[in-house]
């Protein structure tokens, strides 16, 4: 691929001599046969053959665009074609050759299991070892990576990526005391996932008691996240790795939860709220508010508390002296 | 199904005109063709066609029982038949038709792998992609959901549910220093799970060094729980999602651990003790005691500490002023 | 097997009458037909038929060695042969019979999926339901346990054990704001795992944006660990269960992280540093330093803080009285 081809692809302007690249690299280690992008200043010793930048550099081959990061993302999507959601060639692809068709009609791997009553959308993919139970629905363009499990009745929207090992729709965790010992209450609801949702590897999303555990359009869950029964997640929410939401929690549109944060039963995280990593939320968080700590405090309060916390022993000594 | 049939099924009394239902719903959103149950007061605007309640309401079709929640759980079990532990029809089943036989003899899915030396109990089910290693034993009526992995020698009792992706019996994590670098010490014990145990999706239960990691009868583990080597869990314990127990921990009968709680190596959680969510337990917790915090404190102490914690910076300023 | 055979096997000296054993057991519960090892004093009521010890005991059958624990580990490796990384006979093996060949040439289970472009080393094993994507490399003697998933381009070194359900090489979690809404930035790097690495069950290791997420030689990850994109882990690091490392974190050689600890984006844990369980690291930790707490403090400071923390309410009252 040449710099001129890159410029055409991302709608940029070639400045300097055209040249070939065979791959891409990070700004600090790209080599002469590679392209790198820069948001800010390019280091003196940079060796990249082609630079994707906002302003041309003298003596260098540059592709000039308004937004280098966005242009780079588009270039990557072109350079590294996917088939059924999996990268076909992880590095140094020669795109002078015609790209393979990047998508097939409803791919189901021979080792996957799809119940006859399940419905798979066009251009969806069910990879090796994945399981799609009775009455499930999988939307158009959605990819179920290897060993994903959808329990019966689970509904996943369009263009979702459910990563390897994620389990959607297992029973919530609910027992009814009974003279014969605790009896399991059948959880007959389901999980409903919207469009453009990404669910990370080995996540667990439990089904609801009667209605649905819901994950709204465009929300993103990183790996090993636990979503309890009857949780309602809005649109565009972001849950970092290992977050845990207990049963009945509500998460508003665009809320963000940091890694390992936990939210107690039935609590509400308002739209646009921010829960810092490892926080433990035992109360409702109003829309737009940022909280930190276990138990969670408003971010500003928590920062001050944690700043003085190491001095607590000294404080105790000071007081004891005065009283003594 | 009619209200009279429901009454017969749960041992209740029909009050009001008999009528048909086609499903069930939550009290606040059930419609005219659905049944809902109520423990307390029924809202004025409730629309459910049939109510499962303690006391009849004038002008409504009611099924009157002593314990509506328990009766509802029984009704659900009838309405939503399972085959091999999986719901067959997730919603609105017509139970006027004879239910399909809800269980078959030792179901093994064609993509499951069961070692010839393993023993499967009657009416047990090994779903798609599950793996049962050499010398394993799986009890009667136990369900291994898709992609469960039992390493060699694992023993699971009767009527257990091991949810999708759970891994039982992997090596504990133990190294022996050696002139040639750390050498893995073979973990040749196993995992022994009692009867009526439920293990959530993607849980990890490591096998013991020499003897057994044990999970007692009737204990319930939610999703993504980690149980280290040689852990001993008693009967009827409840571990919420993402709990982690390090090697050699003991959990007594009926103890409860909240989500994301962790217990350090060899510590003991007494019978009936309660560990709040996200707590970090580095000492033994006596039977019946409740603890909270990381590190864990008695619940009453922790509540008082966390109540004043946000005022710590103000406190420091006050003292500094006095000293100044 | 006889005590004399054990002595020959571990390079020890038989003291007392030779006798047969049929298995091994823990020191406190081994029976007359079993061997036990002791580092220190052997209890009076010990019943083991053969003792593996530093100094002979009068009237007992002993195998005397310099390092009983190390000798015991070697004995276990002999007593419990593995085939393709799985124990063949979990208990009481009769080693008078010739052991089965403990390894075969590149085992691939019929239900595993290996892309034709992937390379498998000699004596490697890909167990049931495991998935090896395009352009992956798996080293010699490495075992992929059931249902492990390697996304395309993942490289695993020699003699590694990747436990059941672990997922290596899924997309990192990176979005680019765009007028059309957040656009996923293709993550076209990979995961590179060194030699002699152990990765626990259901771990998640994300691939890098452009280069590689790396796990160095001899590092050990317990179950349910999350490693974000572009993380760099050195040699011989130990990560306990449920640890989470955000994107770009660096962990130095020999560093140790306790269970459920978390490290924020781009932070560095120095070589030989120690992060206690449940700690939350939001700053760099210098080599050799030990930290505890969320947010993490130097270990000595944290211990003092946590020692006085329960007295905080009393302190507040004391100050209020004085001011009042």
Q: Which CATH number applies to C3-79?
A: 3.40.1390.10
**In chain C, pLDDT over 90 holds for what percent of residues?**
75
Mutate to test the interface with B, among A113, A241, A261 (most CBs of B within 10 A): A113
Question: Pick the catalytic residue: A33, A115, A127, A229?
Answer: A229
Looking at beta carbons, which pairs linking B250-256 to residues 24 or more positions away fall under 8 Å?
B252/B287, B253/B216
Fold matches, A3-87 and A166-304: no
Q: What is the DSSP letter of B220?
A: E
Which pLDDT belongs to residue A181? 65
Helix (H, G, I), strand (E, B) or coil at C166: coil
The CA distance from B111 to the nearest CA of chain C, in Å, is 7
Asked whether the beta carbons of A139 and B186 are under 8 A apart, the reply is no
A310 at C interface, C-beta within 8 A: yes
Asked whether the beta carbons of B120 and B135 are under 8 A apart, the reply is no
Per-residue pLDDT at B172 exceeds 70: no
Can you tell me which residue has the tokens 């000296």? Answer: C13
Q: How far is the C-alpha of B166 from the C-alpha of B149, rounded, in Å? A: 6
Per-residue pLDDT at C280 exceeds 90: yes
Least confidently predicted of B41-50, B255-264, C61-70, C101-110: C101-110
Provide φ and ψ at A60, rounded to 5°: -115, 155
Tell me whether residue A144 is exposed, middle or buried, using C-beta atoms within 10 angstroms of its C-beta: 0 to 12, 13 to 18, 19 or more: buried
The DSSP element (H or E) to which C169 belongs, if any, is: strand C167-170
Q: How far is the C-alpha of A193 from the C-alpha of A124, rounded, in Å? A: 15
Tell me whether residue B228 is exposed, middle or buried, using C-beta atoms within 10 angstroms of its C-beta: 0 to 12, 13 to 18, 19 or more: buried
Per-residue pLDDT at B290 exceeds 50: yes
B168 at C interface, C-beta within 8 A: no
Kindly give the residue spans of alpha helices, DSSP state H, lying in chain A: 3-10, 68-79, 299-308, 312-323
Contact B129 A135 (CB under 8 A): no
Nearest residue to A120 (alpha-carbon basis) of A89, A168, A76, A154 = A154
The CA distance from A74 to the nearest CA of chain B, in Å, is 35
The DSSP element (H or E) to which C319 belongs, if any, is: helix C312-323
Contact A147 B145 (CB under 8 A): no
pLDDT tens string, chain A, 324 residues long: the values are 899 999 999 999 999 999 999 889 899 889 999 999 999 899 989 999 999 999 999 999 999 999 999 999 889 888 887 888 888 764 444 444 444 444 457 999 999 999 999 999 999 999 999 999 999 999 999 999 999 999 999 999 999 999 999 999 998 666 776 666 667 788 889 999 999 999 999 999 999 998 999 999 999 999 999 999 999 999 999 999 999 999 999 999 999 999 999 999 999 999 999 999 999 999 999 999 999 999 999 999 999 999 999 999 988 887 777 765
CATH superfamily of A166-304: Hexapeptide repeat proteins (2.160.10.10)
Q: How far is the C-alpha of A14 from the C-alpha of A12, rounded, in Å? A: 7
**pLDDT, tens only, B68-109:** 999 998 898 888 878 888 887 644 444 444 444 444 579 999
Per-residue pLDDT at C96 exceeds 60: no
| Residue B67 CB contacts under 8 Å (≥ 6 apart), including other chains | none
CATH superfamily of B3-87: MurE/MurF, N-terminal domain (3.40.1390.10)
Helix (H, G, I), strand (E, B) or coil at C91: coil
Task: Indicate the domain borders of chain C.
Answer: 3-79, 107-304
| Helix, strand, coil percent values for chain C (each to nearest 5) | 15, 30, 60
Contact A260 C264 (CB under 8 A): no
Tell me whether residue B150 is exposed, middle or buried, using C-beta atoms within 10 angstroms of its C-beta: 0 to 12, 13 to 18, 19 or more: buried
Nearest residue to A281 (alpha-carbon basis) of A268, A295, A271 = A295
Contact C308 A323 (CB under 8 A): no
Instruction: Quickly state the pLDDT bin for B32 (edges 50, 70, 90).
Output: very high
Counting one residue from chain A and one from chain B, the pairs whose CB atoms sit within 8 A come to 177
Work out the average pLDDT over C1-28: 93
* DSSP letters spanning B285-297: B-TT-EEETTTTE
Which pLDDT belongs to residue C253? 97
Q: Are strands C125-126 and A107-108 parallel, antiparallel or unpaired?
A: unpaired
**pLDDT, tens only, C33-80:** 999 999 989 998 999 999 999 999 999 999 999 999 999 988 988 888
Which pLDDT belongs to residue B23? 86
C308 at B interface, C-beta within 8 A: no
- Which two tokens mark A10? 């991302």
Q: Across all residues in chain C, what is the average pLDDT?
A: 90
Nearest residue to B224 (alpha-carbon basis) of A200, C280, A1 = A200
- pTM value is 0.92
- Which two tokens mark C261? 């600890």
Q: How far is the C-alpha of B79 from the C-alpha of B89, rounded, in Å? A: 9
Partners of residue C131 in chain A, C-beta under 8 Å: 127-129, 146-147, 164
Q: How far is the C-alpha of A139 from the C-alpha of A158, rounded, in Å? A: 4
Cα-Cα-Cα-Cα dihedral of C73, C78, C79, C85, to 10°? 90
CATH domain C107-304 topology: UDP N-Acetylglucosamine Acyltransferase; domain 1 (2.160.10)
**In chain C, pLDDT over 70 holds for what percent of residues?**
92
The CA distance from C165 to the nearest CA of chain B, in Å, is 7
Buried b / exposed e across B264-289, counting CB within 10 Å, b at 16+?
bbebbbbbbbbbbbbbbbbeebeeeb
The DSSP element (H or E) to which B73 belongs, if any, is: helix B68-79
Q: Which chains touch B (3 or more CB pairs under 8 A)?
A: A, C
Tell me whether residue A112 is exposed, middle or buried, using C-beta atoms within 10 angstroms of its C-beta: 0 to 12, 13 to 18, 19 or more: buried
Which pLDDT belongs to residue B152? 94
B12 at C interface, C-beta within 8 A: no
The DSSP element (H or E) to which B83 belongs, if any, is: strand B82-83
Helix (H, G, I), strand (E, B) or coil at A115: coil
Q: How far is the C-alpha of A223 from the C-alpha of C222, rounded, in Å? A: 16
A90 at C interface, C-beta within 8 A: yes
Buried b / exposed e across A271-307, counting CB within 10 Å, b at 16+?
bbbbbbbbbbbbeebeeebbbbbbbbbbbebbebbbe
- As beta bridge partners, residue A232 has A214, A250
* pLDDT higher at B127 or C104: B127
Using CB atoms, pick whichever of A209, A297, A318 lies closest to residue B323. A318
* DSSP letters spanning A215-239: E-TT-EE-TT-EE-TT-EE-TT-EE
The predicted complex's ipTM stands at 0.91
- As beta bridge partners, residue B167 has B149, B204
Query: For residue B268, what are the CA distances in angstroms to B245, B248, B265, B281?
Result: 10, 9, 9, 9
Window C:33-62, CB contacts with B under 8 Å: none
Which pLDDT belongs to residue B217? 97
- Which two tokens mark A141? 């363009």
Which pLDDT belongs to residue C261? 98
Work out the average pLDDT over B175-200: 84
Partners of residue A204 in chain B, C-beta under 8 Å: 200-202, 223-224, 241
Work out the average pLDDT over B234-239: 96
Q: How many Å from the N-terminal Cα to the C-terminal Cα in chain C?
A: 80
| Residue A173 CB contacts under 8 Å (≥ 6 apart), including other chains | A206, A228, A229, A247, B198, B200, B220, B222, B240, B241
Nearest residue to B185 (alpha-carbon basis) of B242, B230, B148 = B230
Active site residue C229: yes
Q: How far is the C-alpha of B172 from the C-alpha of B186, rounded, in Å? A: 9
Helix (H, G, I), strand (E, B) or coil at C70: helix
Nearest residue to A17 (alpha-carbon basis) of A68, A65, A59 = A59
Contact A173 B218 (CB under 8 A): no
Instruction: Quickly state the pLDDT bin for B134 (edges 50, 70, 90).
Output: very high
């Amino acid at each position: 691929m040449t710099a001129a081809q890159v410029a055409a692809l991302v709608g940029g302007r070639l400045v300097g001599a055209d040249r070939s690249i065979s791959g891409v690299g990070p700004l600090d280690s790209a080599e002469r046969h590679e392209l790198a992008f820069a948001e800010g200043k390019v280091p003196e010793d940079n060796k990249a053959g082609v630079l994707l930048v906002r302003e041309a550099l003298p003596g260098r081959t540059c592709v000039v665009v308004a937004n280098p990061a966005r242009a780079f993302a588009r270039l990557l999507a072109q350079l590294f074609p996917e088939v059924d959601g999996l990268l076909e060639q992880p590095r140094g692809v020669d795109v002078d050759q015609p790209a393979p068709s990047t998508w097939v009609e409803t791919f189901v791997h021979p080792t996957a299991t799809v119940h006859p009553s399940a419905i798979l959308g066009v251009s969806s993919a069910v990879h090796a070892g994945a399981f799609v139970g009775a009455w499930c629905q999988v939307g158009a363009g959605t990819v179920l990576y290897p060993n994903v499990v959808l329990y019966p009745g689970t509904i996943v929207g369009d263009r979702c990526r459910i990563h390897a090992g994620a389990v959607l729709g297992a029973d919530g965790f609910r027992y009814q005391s009974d003279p014969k010992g605790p009896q399991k209450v059948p959880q007959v609801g389901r999980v409903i996932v919207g469009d453009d949702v990404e669910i990370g590897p080995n996540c667990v999303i439990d089904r609801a008691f009667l209605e649905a555990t819901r994950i709204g359009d465009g929300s993103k869950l990183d790996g090993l996240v636990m979503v309890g029964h009857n949780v309602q997640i809005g649109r565009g929410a972001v849950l970092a790795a290992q977050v845990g939401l207990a049963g009945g929690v509500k998460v508003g549109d665009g809320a963000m939860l940091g890694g390992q944060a936990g939210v107690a039963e039935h609590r509400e995280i308002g739209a646009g709220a921010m829960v810092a990593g490892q926080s433990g939320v035992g109360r409702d968080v109003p829309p737009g508010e940022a909280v930190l700590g276990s138990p969670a405090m408003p971010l500003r309060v928590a920062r001050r508390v944690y700043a003085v916390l190491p001095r607590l022993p000294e404080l105790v000594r000071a007081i004891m002296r005065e009283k003594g």
